[in-house]
Chains A and B, each alone.
Chain A
Amino acid sequence: DTAVSQTPKYLVTQMGNDKSIKCEQNLGHDTMYWYKQDSKKFLKIMFSYNNKELIINETVPNRFSPKSPDKAHLNLHINSLELGDSAVYFCASSLYGEQYFGPGTRLTVT
């Protein structure tokens, strides 16, 4: 009965490759998010979708493109990966402000 799930949990890839991370929530929430956690554990929001509509788009390189096929899914596609993209990416969902986080995807770019 996983609430917010992400795949894959680990992703190791080379610079220049394109990769995707998937997120699904079974909580019936309307809003989903992507956060990036750097090596110092600092968390920063990247994107937010509400009912498949993009509502928050922070200053993120346009190599990052979120897609929400329905309100239970929010995927993150990253083009032309760079060393600096190495981080843990967390998906989250919320209904009334309280956010529930997935287990994270650790992306390592070599």
Chain B
Amino acid sequence: GNSVTQMEGPVTLSEEAFLTINCTYTATGYPSLFWYVQYPGEGLQLLLKATKADDKGSNKGFEATYRKETTSFHLEKGSVQVSDSAVYFCALSDPGETSGSRLTFGEGTQLTVNP
């Protein structure tokens, strides 16, 4: 079955530090890949996505590149801010479904950025 593995958290950084959150996946076929962010007390928001190999998704200074050869979709940001403190989820959509595609989530990584 499909699975997503994220680096274990929590991750604590100082403001302006470089961020990497690792994500690897297992899937048959060619899934779409996503990063979602969950701020405290809120629902999940789509941060970025990539739908095919070598695509780079980017938003709000965050980037992730779909690497089929390493089955990875690592999230990076060059300079984090306190407001980036949240839980980050890597996810893939089942490539075998066209409607009602389920998302398979990683375990989530808690990021805390200190001033």
Residues of A within 8 A of B (CB): 4, 30-31, 33, 40-45, 48-50, 55-56, 90, 92, 94, 97-104
Contact = CB atoms under 8 A, between A and B. Distances in A.
Interface in B50-90: 87, 89
B32 interface: yes
Contacts of A55: 99-100
Query: Chain A interface mostly helix, strand, loop or mixed?
Result: strand
Nearest to B36: A101
9 contacts: A31-B101, A41-B38, A41-B110, A45-B103, A48-B100, A90-B43, A94-B101, A103-B42, A103-B43
Nearest to A90: B43
A43 B105 contact: yes
Given A31-B100, A98-B49, A101-B44, 11 more contacts: A4-B43, A41-B87, A41-B110, A43-B103, A44-B105, A45-B103, A48-B102, A55-B99, A99-B46, A101-B36, A104-B43
Contacts, number: 56
